[in-house]
Amino acid sequence: MALKHNFRKLTIWQEARSLVSETYSITEKFPKTEIYGLSNQLRRCSVSIASNIAEGSARDSNKHFVQYLETALGSSFEWETQLICAFDLNYISETTFNEYVEKIQKIQAMISNFKNTLN
């Protein structure tokens, strides 16, 4: 099946995929009491961002792809909020926090810009 957009070639998907690996690394250091809480939520959000970009790329129209990009964007803001919570709880350092706020905001801008090109 020929895809209109090959998600594997999309920089936004590649960045989101990288975020998944990094999220798993970050959350490994969280307290064990967070395994079903904030750790799990951050991991699920990161996977959701990449997954929605990939799933949307298989849709027949740009209009439908945009809907999946909007979901990915929503998950990215959820991820950012959870990162803020992790910082507030002292689970991550200020340096780590700043690094990943910059990374997620870059991903958010990329998704928004790509979404605008499809409209």
CATH of the domain at 102: 1.20.1440.60
For position 1, what pLDDT does the model report?
Answer: 43
CB 34 within 8 A of CB 91: yes
- Give CA–CA dist 69/52, Å, rounded: 7
Is residue 97 included in any domain, yes or no? yes
The domain in which residue 104 lies consists of 14-118
Distance from CA of residue 79 to its chain's centroid?
Answer: 7
- List per-residue pLDDT tens for the chain, 119 residues long: 445 778 999 999 999 999 999 999 999 999 999 999 999 999 999 999 999 999 999 988 889 999 999 999 999 999 999 999 999 999 999 999 999 999 999 999 999 999 999 88
Alpha carbon separation from 82 to 24, 114, 116 (Å, rounded): 14, 24, 26
Is residue 103 included in any domain, yes or no? yes
What pTM value is reported for the model?
A: 0.93
Is residue 5 included in any domain, yes or no? no
Could you give the number of structural domains in the chain?
1
Is residue 27 included in any domain, yes or no? yes
Is residue 94 included in any domain, yes or no? yes
For position 3, what pLDDT does the model report?
Answer: 54
The dihedrals phi and psi of 65, each to the nearest 5 degrees, come to -60, -40
Is residue 4 included in any domain, yes or no? no
Counting Cβ atoms within 10 Å, is residue 107 exposed (0-12), middle (13-18) or buried (19+)? buried
Is residue 2 included in any domain, yes or no? no
Is residue 9 included in any domain, yes or no? no
